[in-house]
Amino acid sequence: MVLQIYSATEFRRVVIDGSREQLVVVDFYADWCGPCRMVAPFIDSLATKFHQVLFVKVNVDEVQDVAQLCRVHAMPTFQLFLNGNKVDEIVGADVAALERSVAAQAQPVAFAGPGHTLGTRATSEDTKAATTTNSTPSGTPIARPNAVADGLQTTTGSAGSAGARASQGEGQLPVSASETMPTFVSEKILEELQAMGFPRTRALNACIATDNESLEKAMEWIFAHDEDPNIDKLDPALDVRVTGAEDLLSKSKEEKQLMLKRLQEEARKRREAEEKKLAIEQEKNRIRSGKEIAEAKRKAEEERRKRDIRERLREQREQQMERERLRRLLEDDRQRRLELQRGPTPVRLVEQPPDPNTNQPKAVEKSELETRPTRLQLRLPDGTNVEADFTNETRLRDVANYVLNNYPSLGERISLMRTYPRRKFLEHELDQMTLQDAELYPRGALFVLRP
């Protein structure tokens, strides 16, 4: 079974404190990480295979403080903890290396000494020797190593606390190390930091984070975490104790001030370098964004020009088509006017073959003498004047049919009237009278009237 970690406190209790009892393997993963999902079934199989090993998972997005403290920079990352310390780390989905490391670290530790045979009694000398070997003087604190180099602290206990764990009755849970063992802080480093003007809580955090390594390390940590909102907050779960009370470092006040100024200047230069780097990066991003915006504007302008060109071409085609249509209409109208001016085809008499049995003269000569061309000017109801050529034998009904055929908008019936002398022809007169009978030969004018 794989246990899920949800907080830094739970990580300290389960992993740091729990690693004193057994090997603990921590799987740092992320939901969006493909290799993490790929190796997840393998981790479950390892937890089943190595039942004496505790396997835990930490989601780096949900428990970011633990991931930062453990300095996890890639996923998946596997860290092995034993006796409160990190003993191995595998970065990447190398499941074979992880299994080899777990198998190596999970091997049982051989006991030192000859031991005892079952059924024999331990002598007082053996008991005394074991006590001397496994304990320390109760008055001297043991300097404990950091569990994780990035700030998760654990402490080893004194002989008294060890004895308390040994004296617990069977069936009782062991007391947590974070509840019984204090965190020791070097008094001389703490005093030096306070003498330089740093708050006591900030100085304590610096000593704990640097494991009392040196005054310069503590000051560098303070300057590096100067903007951390929790720099002046101490973890209430820690039992902090100041120990090693020696005299202050043999440095004069001027030397301390010079050291402080030097460290402050170095921290200021580091901040300025970071700010300059950030400003350069921001300027690069601004220039890159400006280029992208300019490119987008250029593309938009190019697209607009292409759209305008397409629109102008379309308008030109439509105008050309409209001009062509008007030209055809004008041509049709001109042809119609020419046809109206030419008038109907003159009626010609068909020449009859002579009858050999008779001695009558040829009728063709008489017809040619009686048929003459006649030009009429027709005035339509809308005031339009139209001239047409007929013959003197053309009947008024043929003239009326000519007008109706060429001007269908006049309707199905019209009337004709002579201009001078004014006379309106009746219906039966249209069928009976010719243009010569109506005194319209060789030229004449008629009004076209609607009934």
Question: What average pLDDT does the chain have?
Answer: 77
pLDDT band at 110 (very low <50, low <70, confident <90, very high): very low
Its CATH class, for the domain covering 374-449, is alpha beta
Supply the pTM of this predicted model. 0.30
Q: How many C-alpha atoms does 381 have within 13 Å on its Cβ side? A: 14
Over residues 407-450, the pLDDT tens digits come to 988 888 899 999 878 888 998 888 989 988 888 888 889 999 98
Structure confidence by residue, pLDDT tens digits, 264-296: 788 888 888 888 888 898 888 889 888 889 899
Q: In angstroms, what is the C-alpha Rg of the chain?
A: 60
What does the alpha-carbon distance between residue 138 and residue 162 come to, in Å, rounded to a whole number? 10
Q: Is the pLDDT of residue 70 over 80?
A: yes
- CA dist list (Å): 37 to 28, 30, 55, 96: 12, 9, 16, 16
Burial class (CB in 10 A: 0-12, 13-18, 19+), 153: buried
CA-CA distances (angstroms) from residue 423 to 171, 375, 419? Answer: 144, 19, 7
pLDDT at residue 363 above 80? no
Q: Is the pLDDT of residue 108 over 80?
A: no
Q: In the predicted model, what is the mean pLDDT of residues 66-79?
A: 91
Query: pLDDT grade, residue 368 (50/70/90)?
Result: very low
CA distance 124 to 130: 10
The set of catalytic residues is 33, 36
Query: Is residue 372 predicted with pLDDT exceeding 60?
Result: yes
- Helices 34-49 and 95-105: crossing angle in degrees, nearest 10, is 30
Query: Among positive and negative, which fits the CA dihedral 109, 114, 118, 121?
Result: negative
CB half-sphere exposure, 266, CA atoms < 13 A: 13
Higher pLDDT, 369 or 60: 60
Lowest mean pLDDT among 89-93, 110-114, 314-318: 110-114
Higher pLDDT, 397 or 344: 397
Average pLDDT (95-118) is 69
Domain 3-106 has CATH 3.40.30.10: yes
> Per-residue pLDDT for 141 more than 80?
no
Q: What is the mean pLDDT of residues 156-177?
A: 34
Q: What is the pLDDT of residue 26?
A: 95
Range in 144-153, 168-177, 332-341, 385-394 the model is least confident about:
168-177
Per-residue pLDDT, 166: 33
**Where does the pLDDT of residue 357 fall: very low under 50, low under 70, confident under 90, or very high at 90 and above?**
low
Helix H, strand E, coil C: the string for 179-220 is HHCCEEEEHHHHHHHHHCCCCHHHHHHHHHHCCCCCHHHHHH
CA torsion through residues 213, 82, 138, 241, sign:
positive
Count Cβ neighbours within 10 Å for each residue of 256-266 and write b for 16 or more, e otherwise: beebeeebeee
**Distinct helix (H) and strand (E) counts, the chain:** 14, 12
Q: Which CATH number fits domain 183-243: 3.30.365.10, 1.20.120.420, 1.10.8.10, 3.40.367.20?
A: 1.10.8.10
